[in-house]
Amino acid sequence: MTNPLLSDFTTPFETAPFHLIKNEHFLPAVKEAIALAKGEIETIKTHPLPSFENTIEALDRSGKRLGVITAIFFNLNSAETNEEIQKLAREISPLLTEHSNDILLDQELFQRVSQVFSQKESLNLRAEQVTLLEKTYKSFVRNGAKLDSSEAETLRKIDQELAQLSLRFGEHVLAETNRFVHFISDEKELEGLPEGIKEAAAQLAEEKGQSGKWAFSLDYPSYIPAMTYAKNRELRKTLFMAFNTKSAKGDELDNQEIIRQILTLRNQRAKLLGFSSHADFVLEERMAKNPKTVLDFLESLLEKAKPKAIQEVQEVADYAQKLDRLASLEKWDFAYYSELLKKERYALDDELLRPYFQLEHVIQGVFDTSSKLYGLNFQPNPEIPVYHPEVTAYEVRDRDGKFVSVFYADFFPRPGKRNGAWMTSFRGQYHENGQDHRPHISIVCNFTKPTKSKPSLLTFNEVTTLFHEFGHALHGMLAKGTYESLSGTSVYWDFVELPSQIFENWCYEKDCLDLFAKHYQTGEPIPAELIERIKNAANFQQGYMTVRQISFGLLDMAYHSNDPSNITDIKEFESEVMKKTDLLPKVPGTMVSTSFSHIFQGGYSSGYYSYKWAEVLDADAFELFQEKGVFDPETASSFEKNILSAGGSEHPSVLYKRFRGRDPKPDALLKRSGLLA
């Protein structure tokens, strides 16, 4: 029987043939694709005279089949996994790590790359080609090409172990999330919860075989509303403790030892390659360049935000004392009393807004905003196979009807899907043999599900999340690069959040909200005064939220810019680091680290600061849109050309300056956050 992963895809736009793929196809396909890629590498090594075309470009174009297969596999492992896929991931990961090391530690290949690199000045290359040459050379050096054979072998072992540990970390967090469910039998215990949330809780209990009860899980659409609206303090505490002790209970799903091992191996790897720490290694290839710049940046923000944050927390504590004689405001109380205070101060809460944010309308709003800015048109295409019935596939075309991209949208929580929201791709964009190969982009979220009586009605936070991930998607879809490794979101990590974070700004603009925010029952547009209240409330507790983000960035840097051999107790270490940003009493037994997937499973190690870093860029960039008009065609065209389509073709500071006409200034962010008058 033919393996569908190894044949040319005959689906629309050569999309992944999910309807044909079975789990047993993956391992043999990966092995064969690795053999194919090895053959391509050997061909590169046969040319008597290394050149940019036969070495650097050929390397970038090698392994395409393997890239497509692994993108399909690992995206499924994030969005639609099961025990069989997780077992396969543990088998496939070492093969890929070994293959990558085989390439990057191949001395003959490195000599050819070095030869071309040494001629850089005389090759008359375009800017994008220079970037590819430098990136290729650096990737060899940064992955051990200059090590001796013994050191190279040590590096191989480290990389293999790290790949396995990262998988196990994620599996533990998902298993912890899935195994927790809390049932309520008495409806009186649900006081404060909106009817829609209660209905969703009843539906979840029914799905769990407990009809007549209400159930809460650790999935965001269940957990967040309960923490925000439940008057029942014990319920809030129970959920808070479960959420914040994920993989920290000393059992078979505990991640503390895995964290220790990951940190030790990352540090060993960095030292082996001549760096002081993992953070030094990572940040060499970031806009920030070194740990000192990151720490100075975070400390500077903390200095401005913390006084405001302390004041905001005190306001909530005073409010809770006045309202319910609450003696001590605990972490499981904060969201609940904050929401009540916000409602009193701005006459605004999520339940007032939800009816105007039906998911289908918001999706159309995102599409319409993209159309007004960039001329894109989205049409569902049922002929494109999908990996789950809840996924919708679209074909995307430009204003002239030319095909731009495939776009997949996957919105609701499932047991096989990890928490959170992310953008990913099944195929990147690149030019080859005169043909522009267009990308296949996906966003995956965990939004409020429809119930028997209501469609999916989003919170305003979920609306901004959708816009955020769609900003990433635009970066992928509008790519116009020559080389896949520099295309779309293949940019410096502290630049990658600019397209996503700037797109959130449109959620606060009347011209944008008028496109889609209409009552799901009456069709009435969102009232202008409600939009005004959204804008007025935008800075509510910005100090607190800024300090919270900084705390994660500082924790990440503390783990990765120091010698991890000094960390004997993960819980104590985290507690010590977060002292300066903790604004509420520490809760014994709770931890962030053991489920901090961004840095121990995703690609954000020594990079969590990039959310705040990119906020400086996005606030500064959006100021230009505000000056010219949020749908100004000229500004949108410049942003598309210089940021979205350019990918990583040049250094981000060059691209940004080309769009903005100058370097970014932090004032716009401080003003927007209410931290600067």
Residue 677 has a pLDDT of 59
pLDDT digits (tens, 9 = 90+) for 536-589: 999 999 999 999 999 999 999 999 999 999 999 999 999 999 999 999 999 999
CA quadruple 337, 339, 340, 345: dihedral positive or negative?
Answer: positive
3-state secondary structure 52-75: HHHHHHHHHHCCHHHHHHHHHHHH
CB 561 within 8 A of CB 280: yes
Which fold would CATH assign to domain 355-538? Neurolysin; domain 3 (1.10.1370)
What's the gap between Cα 367 and its chain centre?
A: 20
Q: What is the pTM of this model?
A: 0.94
Spans of the chain, pLDDT less than 50: none
Cβ contacts of residue 576 below 8 Å, gap of 6+?
none
DSSP 107-127: HHHHHHHHHHHHTGGGS---H
3-state secondary structure 532-592: HHHHHHCCCCHHHHHHHHHHHHHHHHHHHCCCHHHCCCHHHHHHHHHHHCCCCCCCCCCCC
Q: Report residue 405: phi and psi, to 5°.
A: -170, 160
Residue 285 tokens read as 């290839």
Closest CA to 405 of 62, 12, 79: 12
Burial group, residue 49, by CB count within 10 angstroms (0-12, 13-18, 19+): exposed
CA atoms within 13 A on the CB side of 7: 11
Residue 676 has a pLDDT of 74
Distance CA 591, CA 190 (A): 27
CB 26 within 8 A of CB 5: yes
Q: Helices 83-104 & 149-179, crossing angle to 10 degrees? A: 160
CB 607 within 8 A of CB 494: yes
Residue 613 tokens read as 């870093």
User: In the chain, what are the domain boundaries?
Assistant: 4-104+106-142, 180-243, 355-538
Q: What is the DSSP letter of 487?
A: S
Rg of the Cα trace of the chain? 25
Residue 343 has a pLDDT of 95
Distance CA 278, CA 262 (A): 11
Percent of the chain with pLDDT over 70: 100
Distance CA 660, CA 677 (A): 23
CA atoms within 13 A on the CB side of 565: 3
Helix (H) / strand (E) element for 410: namely strand 403-410
Closest CA to 15 of 374, 360, 364, 396: 396
Q: Report residue 525: phi and psi, to 5°.
A: -65, 155
Distance CA 451, CA 89 (A): 34
Given the residues 469, 484, 509, 623, select the one marked as catalytic: 469
Which fold would CATH assign to domain 4-104+106-142? Glutathione S-transferase Yfyf (Class Pi); Chain A, domain 2 (1.20.1050)
Is position 469 annotated as part of the catalytic site? yes
Residue 570 tokens read as 């993960």
Residue 602 has a pLDDT of 87
CA quadruple 232, 233, 238, 244: dihedral positive or negative?
Answer: positive
665-673 contacts: CB < 8 A, separation 24 or more? 665/620, 666/616, 666/620, 668/616, 668/619, 668/620, 668/622, 668/623, 669/615, 669/616, 669/618, 669/619, 669/620, 670/304, 671/619, 672/539, 672/619, 673/305, 673/539, 673/542, 673/543, 673/546
Cβ contacts of residue 456 below 8 Å, gap of 6+?
358, 359, 360, 411, 412, 447, 448, 449, 450
Alpha helical stretches, state H, 382-509: 460-477, 498-504
Residue 625 tokens read as 């849109």
CA quadruple 102, 493, 63, 394: dihedral positive or negative?
Answer: positive
Region for 479 from its dihedrals, namely left if φ exceeds 0, alpha if ψ lies in -120 to 50, beta otherwise: beta
Distance CA 298, CA 276 (A): 21
Strands 440-444 and 403-410: parallel
